[in-house]
Amino acid sequence: MALVDFSKEGAVGVITINNPPVNALSSAVTADLALAVDKAEDASVRAVVIKGGKHFAAGADINEFQAVFEGTDEGRLAGELSTTISRLESLAKPVIAAINGFALGGGLEVAMGADFRYMAQDSKVGQPEVKLGIIPGAGGTQRLARLVGWSKAKDIVFTGRSVAADEALAIGLADRVLAPDDVVSVAMEDAATFASGPTQAIAAAKAAMHRGWGQAATSGLNHELEEFQRLFQTNDAREGVAAFLEKREPGFAGD
């Protein structure tokens, strides 16, 4: 059985991390996660939900860190995970992370590669790497600051503390907080809504926002204009405009 499963429910791709008991992100899990992201890139997949089981993912497999001290695995594990998270983040479709239990260390880094994070009321997230004398290595110091701000990110990374769902929602690290039994089902419902919508426009908005981040305003505006103009060559745009003029609901096909 794969350590990360990929399935489809309609046009929603579902990535499930399956390495109990805590879904530690070993090198094997990271490799399977990369394969799942490959499958999620398929054009028939119009939205993605990434989830775990009892826990989303409670960080890296610490047993593999010994190889780094021995000089046989310097940076490989974090480097491969970082690359895979960047690919997840760059998918031209909405991605929702459905978080139950813990999303710590690399687990939170994976979740931050999604567009939205839905947390169970009793779940916790954090970057505890400093407690091992190291730092996040797969995007934690970068994406966290973009989501919650410079000072709050320093607090979370420097202390290594866990963040409960209510605080995560208050600081912008979580987008929704739900009953544990509802996290996955609500994420799937919202993903299905995205998948039935104007996915070309959503992909363009995502691309413009990501490409413009950290650049001068003029560069970001140019990226936005490029995507805006490109959309007029899509069938989705033609359908959306026609439906508005004809006073009917649009039927977006995603092309």
Residue 204 and residue 223: Cα distance in Å, rounded?
10
Catalytic residue ranges: 109, 129
